[in-house]
Amino acid sequence: MTSIEINEVTNVSSKAEMTAGASGFANTVGDAATPLLELKEICKRYGQIDVLTNVSFTVNKAEVIGLLGDNGAGKSTLVKTISGVVQPDQGELVWDGKPVQFNSREVSANYGVETIFQDSALVDSMSIARNIFMGREIRNRFGFMDLRQMREIAAEVLKTIVAIEGIDSPDKLVGSLSGGQKQAVAIARAVHFKRSLLVLDEPTSALAVRATEALFDYLRHLRDQGLSSILVTHDLYDAYRICDRFVVMSRGRTILKAAKSETSIEELTEKVSRG
């Protein structure tokens, strides 16, 4: 995988090199006590609707945050804000102690945010391997795509990281996959290009039990390396198993922020369902 990491670094801005480091990992980001990401009073309005109102919370280094809430609570909008797809009307993002503006997905990616969107954008008419490397293709020294290398890495990622049920070849067209398998390809892509913060918007809703377990093992592995994740899920039992802290949203506001030791599945269920 070394060549990939080198390829990555040549593509990113000097800022990202500072934050992501030569290996693409976040271990070089600031000191461990400075939060990785702080959201401060984030507001977003669509027309007459306040979709996010004064949303503030912190993502520390080496932790998994569960972002919970009922349908329409604003979770995906917040995920898009963190990944630079949506710009807040008010409020501030602070990355590793410094205010930042994530004006596009590229900018957030350069800081080290990797996102799996709820409606993940894959191209049906392309292979799994091409989808994993979409927009970040490996090229040889003549500038041509190195399809062989991308296939090899994709095969490895599929085998070792996400162990997707029923996917045996990186050459399979994504259009021929089930919803859950597509989701797993999106996860494989995010996992391969992992940086400091992995944001997953309902990744397990269509995943088989084994693939969910593999993903959770992976999130634990990232945490052990000092990296952080935000997991959006409707499955509170899943959330409770894997997350260190919880942020519950209701109608665009945070209604509970608690460490795992300070709350229970019962309380989370009550907050999510009653709002």
**Stretch touching Mg ion by CB under 5 A, among 42-50, 72-80, 208-216, 264-272:** 72-80
Residues between 113 and 132 with contacts to ligand ATP, criterion CB under 6 A: 118
Contacts with 191 (C-beta within 8 Å, 6 or more apart), sequence order:
157, 161, 162, 198, 218
Give whichever of 21 and 203 is closer to Mg ion, judged by the CB atom.
203
Residues between 111 and 130 with contacts to Mg ion, criterion CB under 5 A: 118
Out of 29, 36, 51, 197, name the contact with ligand ATP by CB under 6 A. 51
Binder of residue 46, out of ligand ATP, Mg ion, none (CB less than 5 to 8 A by kind): ligand ATP
Residues between 127 and 186 with contacts to Mg ion, criterion CB under 5 A: none
Binder of residue 69, out of Mg ion, ligand ATP, none (CB less than 5 to 8 A by kind): ligand ATP
Question: Distance between CA atoms of 54 and 115, rounded to whole angstroms?
Answer: 22
Beta strands in 113-204 (DSSP E): 113-116, 197-201
Task: Count residues near ligand ATP (CB under 6 A).
Answer: 11
* Contact indicator for 117, 109 with CB cutoff of 8 Å: no
Task: Count residues near Mg ion (CB under 5 A).
Answer: 3
Smallest CA-to-CA distance from 58 within 33, 76, 35, 78 is with 35
Q: Exposure string (b/e) for 96-120, b if CB count within 10 Å is 16 or more?
A: beeebebeebebbbbbbbbbbbbeb
Smallest CA-to-CA distance from 164 within 203, 107, 106 is with 203
Out of 37, 44, 65, 76, name the contact with Mg ion by CB under 5 A. 76
Q: Are strands 245-250 and 64-69 parallel, antiparallel or unpaired?
A: parallel
Residues between 58 and 77 with contacts to ligand ATP, criterion CB under 6 A: 69, 71-77
Using Cβ positions, the residue closest to Mg ion within the complex turns out to be 76
Residues near Mg ion (CB under 5 A) are 75-76, 118
Residues near ligand ATP (CB under 6 A) are 46, 51, 69, 71-77, 118
